[in-house]
Structure 1
Amino acid sequence: MNQTAVTATAAATAAPSSIRDVTALSTVYGDGESVSAVALHYPKTIDASRLKASDFTVAGKTIDKVYTNDAPETALAGKKGSYVIVSLVHPATPLPTAASQNKPKDDQGDKGKEGSNALNGGDAPMYSDRKAPDLSVAVSQTGTVYATDGTAYGPTTTALAADKTVDAVKDAFKTYIYKDPATGYEMPYNIYLPKDYDADKAKTYPMVVFIADASANINDPKAVLYQGNGAIVWATPEEQAKHPAIVLAPQYTEDLIRSIGMMTTDTHQWTQGLTLVTDLIMDVSNKYRVDKDRIYGTGQSQGGMANIAISDAYPELFAGQYLVACQWDTQEMEKLKDKNLWLTVCQGDSKAFPGMNEATALWEKDGAVVARSRMWDSTGGTPVFEQMMRVMED
């Protein structure tokens, strides 16, 4: 062989991969948080034209695509850089069946009976067994990766575990503790401020308040951020580009349940928990530059019920609400007939489905405008849902 060929052969069989570090990139989806990509840092700028998905494997994951970037973060389009982003497929969540539903925990404490019949249409279990998600991930480089100067990085001999985990959206929330003068109790909360919040001290922002369902009622103050995307979605770059907003996500803890009980129950009575979360919302709206005419509420189950109860008691607080899988005393809900509301309930929900149908019928009787969609098949997928949304909006 000539000298050029010898040099090329030596480069192709270079020493093992020189991956400097591995970063797991997580995303909070509707069904919780999971690793959505892995960022591999190489010593030199990587040749994107020679990069292939088959050059990598990720244990227990399916690779969607690979591309280069100049930072350990995902991007809509690849950039020239020393990072390889291994993007992963997020699998569809299996539809639940009766057999797959979690049973209430046996240890319900002194108030356990209140939550013991959740599967028969009663209140939700009082204490959740939710844990922080396992975001561990290991990646192997199975092929050769080339730098733009021709340097070849050979396959790894073992799978490399991620050194750290980053979720740019979730990590942008700050966590604080609110102490309520009225009840004397403390409550953690998470708040997101728009990236330009400090640039203009005179500017006010709308605020979205998300209250989670009871499965997030654990002592981890960030559980409300990873149990689903009810809070996170409003802080994504895509949503913030359309509507810069403050996002507030209170965390109702197990300690609060053991001291003052559930935030909401099927008796539809005002609770100390509702006082606590309402006082928190008021405090935050005064402490930050919140446009008081543009405070929006959303939540599912416990969170939706809290939204309704608070809106009944303080009808001027929310400019609009998105209520999911929840219900309340329909006579009290009649006060909401002139509110801007979006409602989503499942036909199989023995409480929310009949409850919300009764409420909307009362609103129509009182002269409110109600738009209903025909049933959505939960397996229909995003394109079908978007079309049905457009029809209902029209």
Structure 2
Amino acid sequence: MKGKTISAMAAFCCLLSLTANVFAAAPADRAQVTAVTTAAATAAVQTAAASSVRDVTALCTPYSDGEGVSAVALHYPKDIDASRLQTSDFSVAGRTVDKVYTNDAPAEAAAGKKGPYVIVSLAHAATPLPAAGQQGSRPKDDGNKKDDKGGALSGSDAPMFSDRKAPDLSVSVSQSGTVYALDGTAYAPNSAARSADKTVDPVIDSFKTYIYKDPATGYEMPYNIYLPAGYDQDKAKTYPMVVFIADASADINDPKAVLYQGNGATVWAAPAEQAKHPAIVLAPQYTEDLIRSIGMMTTDTHQWTKGLSLVTDLIMDVRNRYRVDKDRIYGTGQSQGGMANIAISDKYPQLFAAQYLVACQWDTQEMEALKDKKLWITVCQGDTKAFPGMNEATALWEKDGATVARSKMWDSTGGTNVFEQMMKVMKDQDAPINYTVFQNGNHMYTWTFAYNIEGIRDWIFEQKL
């Protein structure tokens, strides 16, 4: 014991001597020692902070202007103290953090829960109104010769083939403030950006994708289908079905393009919507391969096509194979999809109980058959085809004795309050056909807001054959 005491005292004296040498050093030397010590300490803190986040999940949402990252979930070792979280504790390059909260799973929630996940919610900017003169256009197939990429050589106003790509859902997050666990553990800041380890989109992921082979034609077509919660439990229950057909910009070979190009398909499958209106959702995917083999689904010559036969056969097949309430099948679509809805409804008048037609038009004489249908039509004032086309069609219907509800032009940027006010004006007229025109805008701008109008979605589900 005596030898150990002497050794310990010697070691202590040695430490004192080294410390004295440090403080006795010249000012420049002391600065170097301090810099090295500080750098080492900073590195140690950053290493500890980096290791404090177990994984990062990008949480995505199909917005009306396309799928995007709506939040980031950071997984910590312990339950986090939500009361000490601030939006300034996190930063995401190129995005605005609008709120932070905790959860027990890597998922967004209306209200936070106790758990080890910090949900960093990101603001989503509204789609700006297009400048005057900007007119998005649907691809046109008028029979004129095309180049090898589908570009129009004469007579057409847009290429047959889309250059749409899957959205870039990459995201990285930095922890710029200290995060505290409920037991007081402090997770130090870390300025190094951490990329997401995985990406999820709860709504899009809830759809199943299949291939339909048409026995009548032999052609194949991908489709996406959503089945309501509990579908497999109650084998006797039937459900309404919403059929959404996208515009031609989604006509690529990715079978899920119809789901991420906007929210025309996915809005009906969102949890809040399904809580009110449980429904089957069908979203066919018209592909580039189909265009190359049988041509466009719809054309500006307003003729029935092989593509329309294929899509219709698919709808009929799903209607018969799944537990669909045949009195409550609803059709909707934008541009190409709206044109397809008109053509199908014209040929099969007892298929759809009601339709929501967005930014589309058809031969007005053929559309005369729709005067007795239940329709909600939405166009933008700046749409150089759909606006005059639907003006002519609705005027013709009224001349034939149909009742069409109208109102002053709507403001697409007005949000929920404006939409609710205008919905009341329209519904008070109690007409089977509703025609709403939005001020300014253009063709492709129309569907960046059209499916966000809750009142129109509610009206659809009120209709029956």
* Length-normalised TM-score, structure 2: 0.78
Q: CA RMSD in A?
A: 2.0
Aligned match for 2:299, one of 228, 246, 265: 265
3-state DSSP class of the match of 1:269? coil
Q: Within 5 Å, which residues of 2 pair with 1:72-151?
A: 72-97=106-131, 108-109=147-148, 112-113=151-152, 117-118=156-157, 124-151=158-185
Aligned match for 2:329, one of 287, 291, 295: 295
1:233 is matched with 267
Residue 102 of structure 1 and its aligned partner are, at CA, apart by 7.0
1:325 is matched with 359
1:16 is matched with 49
Aligned match for 2:339, one of 284, 288, 305: 305
Residue 49 of structure 1 and its aligned partner are, at CA, apart by 0.6
3-state DSSP class of the match of 2:120? strand
3-state DSSP class of the match of 2:404? coil
**Structure 1 70/110 Cα, relative in aligned 2: closer, same or farther at 3 Å?**
closer
2:21 is matched with none
- Summarize deviations over 1:212-268 as a string: whole Å, max 9, x none: 000000000000000000000000011101110000000000000011110001100
**2:413 partner letter:** T
**Paired residues of 2:150 and 2:159 also in contact (CA < 8 A):** no
1:33 is matched with 67
**Paired residues of 1:108 and 1:126 also in contact (CA < 8 A):** no
Work out the CA distance in 2 between the residues paired with 1:41 and 1:362.
Answer: 60
Percent identical residues: 80
**Paired residues of 1:108 and 1:115 also in contact (CA < 8 A):** no
**Structure 1 216/160 Cα, relative in aligned 2: closer, same or farther at 3 Å?**
same
1:3 is matched with none
Q: Within 5 Å, which residues of 2 pair with 1:1-394?
A: 15-17=48-50, 18-97=52-131, 108-109=147-148, 112-113=151-152, 117-118=156-157, 124-394=158-428
- Summarize deviations over 1:86-141 as a string: whole Å, max 9, x none: 000001222223686679899753864388632xxxxx531000000000000000
**2:286 partner letter:** Y
**Structure 1 67/336 Cα, relative in aligned 2: closer, same or farther at 3 Å?**
same
Residue 154 of structure 1 and its aligned partner are, at CA, apart by 0.8
For structure 2, the 5+ residue unaligned runs are 1-44, 429-465
Work out the CA distance in 1 between the residues paired with 2:315 and 2:70.
Answer: 32
Work out the CA distance in 1 between the residues paired with 2:328 and 2:80.
Answer: 47
Residue 273 of structure 1 and its aligned partner are, at CA, apart by 0.2
Residue 207 of structure 1 and its aligned partner are, at CA, apart by 0.3
Work out the CA distance in 2 between the residues paired with 1:114 and 1:352.
Answer: 24
Task: Name the one with the larger helix percent.
Answer: 2
- Summarize deviations over 1:177-205 as a string: whole Å, max 9, x none: 00111221100000000011001001110
